[in-house]
Structure formats: C-alpha cells, structure tokens
Structure 1
Amino acid sequence: MDIQPDQITNYADKFINVLIDYSPKLISALLILFVGLYAIRLINRIIRKIMIKRNLDPTLTKFLADILLWALRILLFVTFISKLGIETSSFVAILGAMGLAVGLSLQGSLSNFAGGMLIILFKPFKVGDTIEAQGVIATVSEIQIFVTKLLTANNQTVFVPNGALSNGNIINYSMQGERRADLTFAISYDSDIKKAKDILLDVLNKNPKVLKNPAPEVFVKNLTSSAIEFAVRPWAKNENFGAVFTETLENCKTALDQAGIDVQPFTIGASKNL
C-alpha cells in the first residue's frame, strides 16, 4: 500500500495536536511525581526524628517509618496515574485482583509480615539483644518488615524470616540483664573436696566482673566412676558474660594446678554463647 505525503502530514499533525493537548497532563503528572518523592523522603525523615525525640523504641520507629514510606508511595502512584487521565476506579479493581493473585502466591511473605507485626507488638526481643532462634545464636541488628537481621559473634550476617521466628522458640539472653555461666570441673578422688571447693570459690570472688549478688556458687555436682564433678556458677552482666566465662575456665584451672589438685582431662561449659 502506497502512503501518500498528504497522509503522512495528516498523521503528523494529529500526533502533534495530541501531544500538545496531552503535554500539560504529562508535565503536571511528572511534576507531582518528583515533588511527591521529595516530600515523602522529607516527611519520612521528620517522622523518624519525632519518634526518636520522643524516645520511641528504635525497632518500632523503623518499622512504622517503613510502613508509612510504602503507604505514601502507593498513594503518590495512584495520584500520578489519576493525573495522567487513567481511571483510578478501574485501576483499583485491577490492582485488587492483582493483589489477590499475588497474595495467594506469596503466602509465605504475608506470614513473614504478620510475624514482623507480632514481634513489634509483643517484643520478645529488640535491636541489640542477643538471642537464640532457628538454630542461630546472634545479636539482633535490625528488624525489617519481612525478616530479622542478625549478626553472629564471628561477624556473619544472618537473615531469619519473621514468620518462622515468631512461631518458633526464642531464647533471649539479654532480657534479664544478668546471666549465669554453668561450668563443670572434674577432679580426681584423691583430691581434698573442701580444699578444691574453697579454691574455686576464691577464684570467683576475686574476679571483679563476677557479681556478688546473686552470689557465685560452687558445689559437688556428681560423683562419677572416675572423678568428682564440681558445678561452678558465676553470675555476670550481659556485657561481661563472655569474659567471665573464659576467665573462670582459665583461672580455676591455674589455681587447681598450683594447689596440686589433679584436674581430670575434661571440663564442661554449659553455655554456647560467649
């Protein structure tokens, strides 16, 4: 089919007329988009500062700020397409259908979102706490909408889904502020029990990081076929727990050796988190 020059000119004129007629809507929509994005960042920053100033929990502050950010972005997007002349009622219906389909395919993600809400509301832990959950012992670095970010003692970052986290067992080592190290020392049957007990207790009392209240404990835990087992239980602040654990092991072994007490070739530490 031959295209006449008059047809090309006619199509070009129509295109230019449509572009001229539509350009105010396009320009205003783009202006709303860019101004809206800047305003959202500004509002989000202000809201964060207000919540921080009011000493709101850091975990709750970030969580609420993230939800507000996405809500404002969705509102801006609806305003943007409405300004372009697209019927929002039809778009909302399409969006609803898409949301249902996406929701059915992303049930795990919705479960993680609900889990995040439960964590925020009931606060089994907060940012900075050391917890044990889902086979991981680590410090809570960040609670996000779908996952919780953990940092292990060897500086590895672990992301745990909030759904699994909220439905599983959680051990919070930081909630009470103080922890007890449960250690076991084994000595031979030829050793003086009272002397060994006094030495172990003296080691605990001389360590300034060991708390006086609750008082440290040393007692005979078990009589095995080859050794006498002593339970050694010092208390410490959370921030000093690792140091107390390792210092107690070292100092008790050194003190028993200096006293000539035969330490059996195994020592059991009942804590996994240093």
Structure 2
Amino acid sequence: MEQEIQKELETITRLTNLVIDFFVNYSFHVIGAIIIFLIGLLVARWVSQLALKICNKHNVDVTLALFIASTTKLLIVAMVLVICLGKFGISVAPFVAAIGAISLSVGLALQGVFSNYGAGFTIILTRPFVVGNTIDINGISGIVTEIRLAYTVLSNEDGEMITIPNKHIVGEVIVNSFEYKIVEASVGISYHNQPEQAIEVIVSALKGFEEITSTPTPQVGIEAFADSSINIAYRYWIPTDRYFEIQYQVNLAVLNALKEAKIEIPFPQREVILKQA
C-alpha cells in the first residue's frame, strides 16, 4: 500500500516539475504569443474595416466588398497564427504541406462549387445585370432580387423564387430588359375593314393604360396577310412584376375597342366546291 502511494506521489511530483519547467522555459514565449495574437486580431479587424471603407468609397458591389474584407481578415489572422506557432519553436512546414494537400483534394471535390464562386465574381465585376433588372436566361425569366457569389435569385409575378447557380449564367445569352418586359400580341381583322382604322383603335386602347411606358413607345402595325384576316400586331413595354395582369387587361380593352368600332374579327374561312359526277 505504501509503495503504491509512493508511486503516485512520484508521478504527481514529476508532473508538477514538468509544468514548472514548462512555465520557466516557455512563460515568456506563451505571454509573447498571446500578446502577438491579440494585437494581430486588432490589426486584422482594423485592416478589414479599412478595406470595406475603401470598397464602399469606390462603389464596389456590396457582396464583393464584404468578401474582400473577410478574406483580408482571415489572411492576417492566419499569418499571426504562423508567427505564434513559431514562438514555440513549432515548424509550420508540415502544416503548410498538409493544408496544401487538403486544399487540392477539397478543390477537386468541390470544383463545381468553386466554379459558381468564380462565375459570381465575374457577374459582380462585369455587372451584366443588377438587382431589380428583368433577365431571361435559357428560357427562365424573372426579376433579380439577390446576387450572391454562388447563385443568383430571381422572382416572378407568381411570387416564386428561382435560384440559378452562377456557373449556369456566365457564358450564356442574357436578355436584360431592366425593370420592364415587352408584350407582343396580334389580332386578326376582316379584309373588308380598313387596317388604318384598326391601328388607330388599338393605339387609342393602349393609351388608356398608365402602366405602359411611353419610351419606348408602343408599336402597332400590319404583321401578316393571313388566309382569313389581316393580322394587326401590337408591342408595348410594361413592369415585369405585373406582366400577365396588364397583358390580360390590354387584350380585353383591345377586343372591346374593336367591337365598338364595328371592326370584324373573322373566323377561319374555307371555300368548299361541290362537283357532281
């Protein structure tokens, strides 16, 4: 029993001596590392805020400005950690090699994600569209509500949110109509009616809507000479967030205006000739 107690006491003594030796030999290193780390955090925060102010002063996009500020802060903190490890005599070369190998593996596994971030940088720097614009990409149309480094969010008149990865935007054909969208429609009138009168009636009907933009002005004219009718086409610009609502109202107004003007909208006609044997 006494031998076991003696062994425990010797173990405690060795641990105590080890702790005392560590603080005697490395106390200044520990204190120095803590001071350097705290100063480094303050410097990283100050430089990050300075970078953010410079970006805002030069009207850099908010998303890009925040990314630059946070990246700057992380780089400074990483440098400070390397310096602190050096204070303890720890070689950082193995850590650097390990980080490089891990970064390569992660990069190969997440190359799709990184390509979205790269495309996001391109969008923010080149600014082919901004928040509030109406864009059409590969048949997907909507109002830009948010631009992130990894994806862009669109919304439509139905309240749906459409998330598009940025790699599917860069390199594609982008149609940007800003906050408006064009409506193209046509109506057929009889060959017995005067197309000039029909055009005046449709122009007058379009002027009754304040939502239709005056610049560019609405366009009305003969589109085609069909088998049973003269097709009158009309084009106008309206706010994207009320696209279908206004389009339906305009179509009804055009129909009623043509009826009031006694302009006939013909049905398809066919001539049938009966021959006796």
Q: Work out whether the TM-score is over 0.5.
A: yes
Q: How does 1:1-274 map to 2 (within 5 A)?
A: 4-14=7-17, 16-17=19-20, 20=23, 40=44, 43-54=47-58, 56-57=59-60, 60-84=61-85, 85=88, 86-174=90-178, 180-188=182-190, 191-212=193-214, 214-235=216-237, 245-263=247-265
CA-CA distance at 1:229 after TM superposition: 2.1
- 1:15 and 1:125 map into 2 onto residues whose CA distance is 64
| Number of residue pairs aligned between Structure 1 and Structure 2 | 259
Cα separation, 2, equivalents of 1:53 and 1:125: 21
Rounded to whole Å, the distance in 1 between the matches of 2:144 and 2:35 is 41
Task: Tell me by how many angstroms 1:69 deviates.
Answer: 0.8
Contact 1:140 1:151 in 2 (8 A): yes
Tell me, which stretches of 5 or more residues in structure 1 are unaligned? Answer: 266-274
Alpha carbons of structure 1 residues 138 and 27: separation in structure 2 relative to 1, 3 Å: farther
CA 1:229–1:149 in 2, change beyond 3 Å: closer, same or farther? same
Q: Distance in 2 between matches of 1:30 and 1:264?
A: 88
Q: Structure 1 pair 259/39, CA: closer, same or farther in 2 (3 Å)?
A: farther
In 1, distance between residues paired with 2:168 and 2:99? 29
CA RMSD of aligned residues (A): 3.7
CA deviation string 1:150-209 (max 9, x = no partner): 3333333333222221022211121xx775432212345565533322211222244444
The percent identity for this pair of structures is 25
Q: Residues 239 and 6 (structure 1 numbering): CA distance in 2 closer, same or farther, change over 3 Å?
A: closer
Partners of 2:48 and 2:157 in 1: CA distance: 33
Amino acid at match of 1:249: N
Greater shift after overlay, 142-151 or 28-37? 28-37
Per the normalisation by structure 1, the TM-score is 0.73
Of the structure 1 ranges 27-36 and 107-116, higher mean CA displacement relative to structure 2 is found in 27-36
Q: Distance in 2 between matches of 1:27 and 1:152?
A: 59
Q: Assess, with a 3 A threshold, how the Cα gap between structure 1 residues 45 and 27 changes in structure 2: closer, same or farther.
A: same
- Judge conservation of contact 2:48–2:73 (CA < 8 Å) in 1: no
Evaluate the alpha carbon distance shift between residue 204 and residue 23 of structure 1 in structure 2; reply closer, same or farther with a 3 A threshold: farther
Cα distance in 2, alignment partners of residues 171 and 120 from structure 1: 17
Q: Is the 8 A contact 2:220 2:232 kept in 1?
A: yes
Offset of residue 14 of structure 1: 4.4
Letter in 1 for 2:112: G
Q: CA deviation at 1:50?
A: 4.3
Change in CA separation of 1:214 and 1:144 when aligned onto 2, cut-off 3 Å: closer
What secondary structure is seen at the aligned counterpart in 1 of 2:68?
Answer: helix
Structure 1 residues 124 and 187: CA distance shift in structure 2, 3 A: same
Q: Distance in 2 between matches of 1:249 and 1:18?
A: 90
* Change over 3 Å in CA distance of 1:47–1:18 after alignment to 2: same
Structure 1 pair 152–238 and aligned structure 2 pair: CA distance change class (3 A): closer
> For 1:159 and 1:214, how far apart are their aligned partners in 2?
30
Aligned counterpart, 2:274: none
Native 8 Å contact 1:209 1:240 kept in 2? no
AA aligned opposite 1:250: L
CA distance in 1, matches of 2:42, 2:190: 73
* Per-residue deviation, 1:44: 4.0
5+ residue gaps, structure 2, are 268-277
